[in-house]
Amino acid sequence: MIFHGKVKVGNTIITNPATKINENSEIKINDVLIPKKDPLAIYVYYKPKGLIVTKSDEKSRPTIYEDLPKKMRNFISVGRLDKNTSGLLLLTNDGHLSRFLELPKNKFERKYEVKIRGKLSKFQIKRIRDGVIINRFKYQPIKTIILSISSKFSNLELSLFEGKNREIRRIMEYFETPVIELKRISYGPYVLDDLKPSEFHKSNLNYIDY
């Protein structure tokens, strides 16, 4: 197309493929303006309990995209939180960045506050910290901190580097200490801070080496 004079930068026809172009320049092909790619962005969103992390749901259940403004309907979630889990969900307009943040090898720690029914024994806690095996499947070690224990419930802080589907819930069900509340409070360097459910804010990409 360049050799046929179909590409313009501004109003100048470009005939040399090696021409350097400013990122703010207007580019036209066949006199049609090529839309500029939106700048890379990442948002911290407080997902409320009860919403599905998907663009559309075959069961017509409410989704996070119905909770977000229209300008963010094309954003991609970094991983997922299940319907009954609340807390920090990262949203970005770049699929490569989303994948980079999801990959366990890149060591972005996910931290959760968990309320369970009952309490874990010292042996059970050790198994979780070492990497518990359930139905011949071994989960990766999970950093486990006991925050408080009452007669009926325990509050924990769990930290892990990968997010398998319903991992925390499956482990707690296995130990017969079902999850009552589950909230993600941080993802790598990104934290909920003072956000309330359904609130979000644009965050800084300088926090990560991408």
Please report which confidence band the pLDDT of residue 25 belongs to, taking 50, 70 and 90 as the band edges: low
Q: Residue range 112-125: average pLDDT?
A: 98
Q: Yes or no: say if 38 and 93 are a contact pair by the CB < 8 Å rule.
A: yes
In angstroms, the Cα distances linking 190 to 39, 44, 80, 97 are 19, 7, 15, 14
The two three-digit tokens of residue 153, written as one number: 């419930």
Helices H / strands E in the chain, number of each: 4, 15
On the question of a common fold for 1-36 and 42-207, the answer reads no
Per-domain residue ranges for the chain? 1-36, 42-207
Q: Is 20 exposed, middle or buried (0-12, 13-18, 19+ CB in 10 A)?
A: exposed
**Coil, helix or strand at residue 99:** helix
Nearest to 78 by CA among 86, 94, 89, 64: 89
Right CATH for 42-207 from 3.30.2350.10, 3.40.190.10, 3.90.1150.10, 3.30.230.10: 3.30.2350.10
Q: Residue range 50-57: average pLDDT?
A: 92
> Which CATH architecture best describes the domain 1-36?
Roll (3.10)
Residues known to be catalytic:
82
Residue 164: what pLDDT?
A: 83
**pLDDT tens, residue by residue, 74-94:** 999 999 999 999 999 999 999
Residue 6: what pLDDT?
A: 64
